[in-house]
C-alpha cells in the first residue's frame, strides 16, 4: 500500500534579510548578511550588541492597527507571514475546506517582549497597570490562534516548543497529521521574536552569543569557521503550506518540493550542550532517511543547523560523517545562519523554506564568513558562494537545548 505523498505548495516569511521570501532568497543567494547593530533597545551595557533583526516591519500593512496593538511582535510576524503564504499557495479558505486544514507552528519562547513590557509596568505602577491583554498576547499558541482567527482555518491548532528544533518538529508533526489522514493540508513552520533586553541578556549569560564582532556585525555569524565565537540572535518567521499531492493537483497548485521524511531523537545528555559524539544528531538524520525510504548516498544538499558555536558545528560535522560515511564530503552543505543569524524556534521554518527553494531552483546557498576553516569542520560548506547544482534530495537539520534533534528530507518536484 503506497503512502500519501505530501508536497510544499506555498512559502512565506519575514526575515532579517527582507520582509518577503522572494527578496530574502535573492539576498541569501547573493551572500548578503542581514545582521546589524541592535536598534530595538539600548545595548550600551551589553557584551553582545548585534542581531538579525526584522527591519522596517509595519504590521499595519497586514492587519488593522487595533488588532496589531493586541499582538506581541512574534504574533505579528506569524499573521503577516500567513497572509503572504495563502497568497503564494493560491489557497482560499472556505466552509468546504476550513476544518480539513491545520496550523502547526514551532515557537520557542513566545511573547518575551510582552512579558518584559508588563513586568516593568507592574514594578512601576502596581498590578493595576497590567493589561487584560497581557496573557493572550504572550502565550505561544496565540501565533497560530491569530492566524486561525484571520483566515478561518478550523483544523488542529498546535504549537511545538522544543527550543531551536521547534519549527522542524512543528513541520514534522504537520507532516505526520497529513500522513495519518487527519487533515489534508497545514500551515506550518516557525516564528520567534526574542531580540529583547531579557532575551539577549539571557543568551549572553550562557556565553552563547558572539561578542567579538560588535564593530563588524556582518562578519559575526561564522558557522564552521575557526574564529567563530558564538551565535548571533535573530528573529522572524518562515512558513510553508504543505498538503497531499492529491489536494495540490486538484487545486492546480504550483509545487516547490516534496516532503519525504521526518526524523527526531534526543541526546539524553545535557541541558544546553549536544552530546560530543553527535550520536543523537546522527540518529535523527538516519530516522529521516529511513522515513523517506532513501539511501544516505541520495542526499545532495544539507541545510545544516550550523549555529556558529564551537561545540555545535564540530558535533554536527561528526554526525554528518557518521551518517553519510564516504559520501559526506560530496554533499553540498549550506549554513544559512551565516546571513540570517539564529532565529531560535523559527530557524527550522525559514531553513526548510530555503531547502525547498534550493531544490526548486537547483541552487545551493553559499556559506559566508568561512575564511579560517576549523580543522574539525572539514566538509564542503559551499564557502565560495552559491552554486548551481543538480540534486534530487536534500536534508534540513535543527538541534535544540535539552538535546532535542530533528531532521527533514525533501525531494525535488518533477511533474
Point out the residues that are catalytic.
Answer: 164, 305, 342
Residues 6+ apart with CB under 8 A from 409: 259, 260, 261, 262, 288, 289, 291, 292, 294, 299, 393, 394, 395
Rounded to an integer, what distance in angstroms lies between the CA atom of residue 137 and that of residue 42?
Answer: 23
The answer to whether residues 407 and 285 touch, using CB atoms and an 8 Å cutoff, is yes
Rounded to an integer, what distance in angstroms lies between the CA atom of residue 274 and that of residue 379?
Answer: 20
* C-alpha distances in Å from residue 44, one per residue of 2, 41, 54, 206: 59, 9, 20, 19
Cell numbers 548551481: residue: 388
Q: What angle do CA 393, 240, 96 make, to 5 degrees?
A: 120
Rounded to an integer, what distance in angstroms lies between the CA atom of residue 60 and that of residue 83?
Answer: 12
The answer to whether residues 331 and 391 touch, using CB atoms and an 8 Å cutoff, is no
Rounded to an integer, what distance in angstroms lies between the CA atom of residue 42 and that of residue 249?
Answer: 51
Q: Cell numbers at residue 66, please? A: 487595533
Q: Output the CA torsion sign for 361, 235, 89, 300.
A: positive
Residues 6+ apart with CB under 8 A from 136: 70, 142
Closest by Cα among 281, 292, 373, 356 to 322: 281
Determine how many CB atoms are found less than 10 A away from the CB of residue 120: 12
Burial (Cβ within 10 Å: 0-12, 13-18, ≥19) of residue 43: middle
β pairing state of 393-400 and 404-412: antiparallel
Amino acid at each position: 500500500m503506497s503512502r500519501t505523498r505530501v508536497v510544499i505548495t506555498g512559502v512565506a516569511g519575514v526575515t532579517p534579510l527582507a520582509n518577503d521570501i522572494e527578496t530574502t532568497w535573492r539576498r541569501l543567494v547573493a551572500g548578503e548578511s542581514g545582521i546589524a547593530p541592535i536598534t530595538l533597545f539600548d545595548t550600551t551595557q551589553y557584551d553582545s550588541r548585534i542581531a538579525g533583526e526584522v527591519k522596517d516591519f509595519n504590521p499595519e500593512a497586514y492587519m488593522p492597527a487595533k488588532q496589531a496593538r493586541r499582538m506581541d511582535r512574534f504574533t505579528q510576524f506569524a499573521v503577516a507571514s500567513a497572509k503572504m503564504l495563502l497568497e503564494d499557495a493560491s489557497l482560499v479558505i472556505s466552509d468546504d475546506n476550513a476544518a480539513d486544514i491545520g496550523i502547526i507552528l514551532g515557537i520557542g519562547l513566545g511573547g518575551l517582549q510582552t512579558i518584559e513590557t508588563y513586568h516593568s509596568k507592574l514594578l512601576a505602577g502596581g498590578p493595576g497597570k497590567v493589561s487584560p491583554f497581557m496573557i493572550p498576547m504572550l502565550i505561544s499558541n496565540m501565533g497560530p490562534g491569530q492566524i486561525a482567527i484571520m483566515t478561518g482555518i478550523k483544523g488542529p491548532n498546535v504549537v511545538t516548543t522544543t527550543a531551536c528544533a521547534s519549527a522542524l518538529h512543528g513541520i514534522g508533526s504537520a507532516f505526520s497529521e497529513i500522513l495519518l489522514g487527519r487533515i489534508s493540508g497545514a500551515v506550518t513552520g516557525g516564528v520567534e521574536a526574542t531580540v529583547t533586553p531579557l532575551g539577549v541578556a539571557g543568551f549572553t549569560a550562557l556565553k552563547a552569543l558572539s561578542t567579538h564582532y560588535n564593530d563588524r556585525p556582518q562578519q559575526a555569524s561564522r558557522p564552521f569557521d575557526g574564529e567563530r565565537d558564538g551565535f548571533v540572535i535573530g528573529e522572524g518567521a518562515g512558513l510553508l503550506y504543505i498538503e497531499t499531492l492529491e489536494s495540490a493537483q486538484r487545486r492546480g497548485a504550483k509545487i516547490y518540493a516534496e516532503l519525504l521524511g521526518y526524523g527526531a531523537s534526543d541526546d539524553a545528555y545535557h541541558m544546553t550542550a549536544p552530546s560530543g559524539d553527535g550520536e543523537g544528531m546522527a540518529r535523527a538524520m538516519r530516522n529521516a532517511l529511513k522515513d523517506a525510504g532513501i539511501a544516505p548516498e541520495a542526499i545532495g544538499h544539507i541545510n545544516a543547523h550550523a549555529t556558529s558555536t564551537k561545540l555545535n558545528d564540530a558535533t554536527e560535522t561528526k554526525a554528518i560523517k557518521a551518517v553519510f560515511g564516504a559520501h559526506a564530503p560530496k554533499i553540498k552543505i549550506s549554513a544559512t545562519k551565516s546571513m540570517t543569524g539564529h532565529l531560535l524556534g523559527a530557524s527550522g521554518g525559514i531553513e526548510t523554506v530555503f531547502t525547498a527553494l534550493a531544490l526548486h531552483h537547483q541552487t545551493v546557498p553559499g556559506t559566508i564568513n568561512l575564511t579560517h576553516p576549523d580543522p574539525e569542520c572539514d566538509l564542503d560548506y559551499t564557502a565560495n558562494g552559491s552554486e548551481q547544482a543538480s540534486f534530487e534530495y536534500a536534508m534540513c537539520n535543527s538541534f535544540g537545548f535539552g538535546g532535542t534533534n530533528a531532521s527533514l528530507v525533501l525531494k525535488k518536484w518533477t511533474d
